[in-house]
Amino acid sequence: MDLILAGGHVIDPRSARSGVSDVGFSGNRVAGVAEKLDTSTARKTIDVSGKYVVPGLIDLHTHVYHGGTSLGVDADHLARRAGTTTFVDAGSAGPGNFLGFHDHVIQRSRARILAFLNISFAGIYAHTLRVGECKDLELCDPAVTLDKAREFGDSIIGIKVRVGAYTSAGNGAAPLKLAKQASDALHKPLMSHIDLPPPTIQEVVDTLGPGDILTHCFRPQQNQPFGPAGMIYPEVIGARERGVVFDVGHGLGSLGFETASRMLELGFEPDCISSDVHAESIDGPAYDLLHVMSKFMALGMGLEKVVEKATVAPARAIGHSEIGYLGDGALADATIFHIEEGRFTYVDTIGETISSDSRLVCDGLVIDGTFWDAAET
């Protein structure tokens, strides 16, 4: 083997594995997971005793068109802190500028980048000015979007749309329906953003089909997933029953502790935990994927559960079964982290706080079989 991570506590939800094991890699594939591998013939062995080894973390909602949009962050710079080996960009680029994203960022990144293509021709072009890209329906052409998605089929894993008072203004859910046309023809998922109504969360989930993704699913206050009486809307329950995926998408304004606590109390967990990290949330309140996972542990979710929701669950949501697990033949991605004990205060997107005695801290990554120390500069 080319690389063995020796002695770590392996958590691999897809394989139902949790315990101390060695993980071996050959080339860019996982070559073996066992209680003890023969390290004498390995090119490199790294002792990770006392640390956790999990499938490479997949952040289902990020914005990493660095230099091409005002909200883009540098995926490679963030990866070492975030423990993220696969960044899924949530519609930063549209048909008009995806070529630049592909050639200048995706192709040059050490971290893996996959992308949802924005239904809006220019993508999210003026986030810092609070100009929504779906205010002009002339920018939302399903045919043009479909052609570009097919052209870059290796990188594009679905269609993204942002609807709400800020992003689509008077157009309401109209851009969502146009995006749904494109995603259905592409046979790949649609990810829909929500912000303040209109449209309402009920209108949005009613448009989504099996495999489509509602991001920002635990918004605070307006467009949260339950009504004034604290009960989940029937439309939300119905959407889950027909296979809609519910994703956190923390970001700058889309995770409320009160909302999350109530939903968890009612037994409605998010399917995927993601950060929605971008230029305005990278220094708080989202920070990175490990930070958001730590918040859900502070809300009472167990370690193995948060790992599941950042590995196999997002891999399944985007149809990439070769990542998100540590079985033989999987792509050679892994995240190594430890649990730091102390006293930590976490803040949601409206300033409410919770405290915890732990947080997750990245120690290193394996991406395509190459070890990447978290301390590397």
> Comparing 31-35, 125-129, 312-316, which segment has the lowest mean pLDDT?
125-129
Return the pLDDT at 348: 98
pLDDT at 271: 98
Long-range pairs for 303-310: beta carbons < 8 A, 24 or more residues apart: 303/11, 303/52, 303/339, 304/11, 304/13, 304/18, 305/269, 306/273, 307/11, 307/13, 307/54, 307/55, 308/13, 309/269, 309/270, 309/271, 309/272, 309/273, 310/57, 310/58, 310/59, 310/272, 310/273, 310/274
Residue 374 to residue 362: CA distance in whole angstroms: 6
Mean pLDDT of 31-43: 95
Q: How far apart are CA 292 and CA 250, in angstroms?
A: 7
- Has residue 117 got a pLDDT over 80? yes
Segment among 108-112, 272-276, 327-331 with least mean pLDDT: 327-331
pLDDT higher than 90, residue 335: yes
Q: Is the pLDDT of residue 95 over 80?
A: yes
> Is 377's pLDDT higher than 70?
no
pLDDT at 129: 84
Q: Is the pLDDT of residue 311 over 70?
A: yes
pLDDT tops 90 at residue 314: yes
Q: What percent of the chain has pLDDT over 70?
A: 100
Percent of the chain having pLDDT more than 90? 97
**Is residue 127 pLDDT above 90, yes or no?**
no
Kindly state the average pLDDT of the residues 29-49: 96
Task: For 198-245, write each residue's pLDDT tens digit.
Answer: 999 999 999 999 999 999 999 999 999 999 999 999 999 999 999 999
pTM of the entire predicted model? 0.98
In the chain, the domains with their CATH numbers are 3-54+328-344+358-373 (2.30.40.10), 57-317 (3.20.20.140)
Query: pLDDT per residue over 251-260, tens digit each?
Result: 999 999 999 9
Model pLDDT, residue 367: 97
